[in-house]
Amino acid sequence: AQEIGGTDKEVVREYFNTTGFDRWKKIYGDATEGVNKVQLDIRLGHAKTVENAILMLKDGGPLSGVSVCDAGCGTGSLAIPLAREGAIVSANDISAAMVAEARRQADEAISGVEGLTFPKFEVRDLEGLEGKYHTVVCLDVLIHYPQEKAEGMIAHLASLAEERLVLSFAPKTLYYSFLKRLGELFPGPSKATRAYLHAESDVERALEKVGWRVRRRGFTSTQFYFAKLVEAVPVA
């Protein structure tokens, strides 16, 4: 993968406001026209991660009235179904283009539906998030940051969560590292940003450092998409 220059965060923001926005809006959308095989495969894998995250969250009880922060919300793939479940959702993203698209999709899907709270969408990077939420979720964002930065992000997300933190990330295993080196993963224009895999043990250590432990785990993989899902809770 190539790097454009500048810091990782600036590169990521720029990417998700421009070519990355076009690419990911397409991947996370419903249309099939102009969507290639790889993108359709990633759509499928990501949809499974979202579905598994929702199942994990609902397993802890109904979401109605539960405050949830969706950090790095993208086009709202998680925020919108959570709001449909009655959760009080705060959804944020570093990319203004993503936030605008998420708000547009939410408008279309749930605006004016009685009994639901429209998500609070904000352009904000997750390091700048404040407040306390019952639940914090951060799906497929850590892939844009190396482990040393990911560790600080995990600590910060945990500090915002009262009861649980749900994270997904691309696991660093021998097998996936090998495929990545071969260039088999992250094909196409996503190569404009670096993609970082994270060892599950490193993610767990980052959580343990701030007094959290992993309670449940899940894993999704398709041909071009793979993500580990963990639910962490404070150590009692």
**From candidates 14, 85, 122, 125, binder to ligand SAM by CB under 6 A:** 125
SS3 readout for the chain: CCCCCCCHHHHHHHHHHCHHHHHHHHHHCCCCCCCCHHHHHHHHHHHHHHHHHHHHHHHCCCCCCCEEEEECCCCCCCHHHHHHCCCEEEEEECCHHHHHHHHHHHHHHHCCCCCCCCCEEEECCHHHCCCCEEEEEECCCHHHCCHHHHHHHHHHHHHHEEEEEEEEECECCHHHHHHHHHCCCCCHHHHHCCCCCECHHHHHHHHHHCCEEEEEEEEEECCCCEEEEEEEEECC
Q: Which stretch binds ligand SAM (CB under 6 A): 109-117, 135-143, 175-183, 195-203?
A: 135-143
The residues in 52-71 that bind ligand SAM, with binding defined as CB under 6 A, are: none
User: Please, which residue, 152 or 174, has the CB nearer to ligand SAM?
Assistant: 152
Does 12 bind ligand SAM (CB under 6 A)? Our answer is yes
User: Please, which residue, 58 or 213, has the CB nearer to ligand SAM?
Assistant: 58
Phi/psi of residue 2, nearest 5 degrees: -100, 160
Cα distances (angstroms) measured from residue 156 to each of 19, 106, 166 = 28, 27, 13
Q: How far apart are CA 154 and CA 7, in angstroms?
A: 19
> CB count, 10 Å around CB of 127?
13
Count of residues of this chain found to bind ligand SAM when the rule CB under 6 A is applied: 20
Q: Least distance in Å: CB of 93 to ligand SAM? A: 5
Does 105 bind ligand SAM (CB under 6 A)? Our answer is no
Q: Which stretch binds ligand SAM (CB under 6 A): 59-67, 88-96, 111-119, 224-232?
A: 88-96
Q: Which stretch binds ligand SAM (CB under 6 A): 9-17, 177-185, 192-200, 205-213?
A: 9-17
Q: How far apart are CA 9 and CA 27, in angstroms?
A: 22
Q: Least distance in Å: CB of 12 to ligand SAM? A: 5
Q: Which stretch binds ligand SAM (CB under 6 A): 54-62, 93-101, 107-115, 198-206?
A: 93-101
Does 103 bind ligand SAM (CB under 6 A)? Our answer is no
Q: Least distance in Å: CB of 236 to ligand SAM? A: 29
The residues in 140-159 that bind ligand SAM, with binding defined as CB under 6 A, are: 140-141, 144
**From candidates 67, 77, 90, 105, binder to ligand SAM by CB under 6 A:** 77
**From candidates 87, 94, 150, 167, binder to ligand SAM by CB under 6 A:** 94
User: Where do contacts with ligand SAM occur on this chain (CB under 6 A)?
Assistant: 9, 12, 16, 24, 28, 72-74, 77-78, 93-95, 98, 125-126, 139-141, 144
